[in-house]
Amino acid sequence: MRIIPISKIDAKAICGTLTQTSKMPCKSISLPTESCVTGFRMAQIEGSICHSCYANKGFYRTYETAIKPAQFARLDAVMQATENPENASLWVSGMVSLIGQDKYFRWHDSGDLQGLSHLELIASVCHSYTEDNAFDKTISNVIK
């Protein structure tokens, strides 16, 4: 996928804003836990790994009125990208712009993959950071 240089302002309009978690030294992207394809159902089962999901309590719950709208906006951006190749290219380019030259990035501090096409989008973002990609050789060490 061809990466289009996009400003961070435009990238935020396309992808939504990124998050900064307290437990990780990096930016992250979060989606609403309600959108977890399997996890949302598992959360209803006492004793399952998703039943006591950390993303449904703590700061996520305290600041829910600010966090949830942003998560749903990100989810909408992902869904649009999975449904249309032009949107996919913009989303991947936007994520590359937002991650920038950061050494680390966390996918899904909340929420999960929406399916194979979502995973393919993430793989395209990661691929843009490999040595074989001509987009920006200066960030080729990010995911080594």
Q: Do the Cβ atoms of 121 and 88 come closer than 8 Å?
A: yes
Tokens for 86? Answer: 């032009």
pLDDT for residue 28 = 93
Tokens for 43? Answer: 């959360």
28: DSSP letter: E
d(CA 92, CA 3): 7
| Per-block mean pLDDT, blocks of 10 residues, the chain (144 long) | 91 95 88 87 87 77 84 96 96 96 90 93 90 42 37
Q: What is the pTM of this model?
A: 0.83
Q: Which of 121, 93, 112, 123 is nearest to 41 (CA)?
A: 112
pLDDT for residue 39 = 82
CA atoms within 13 A on the CB side of 80: 16
d(CA 29, CA 108): 5
**Residues 6 or more apart in contact with residue 35 via CB below 8 angstroms:** 75, 111, 112, 114
pLDDT for residue 131 = 52
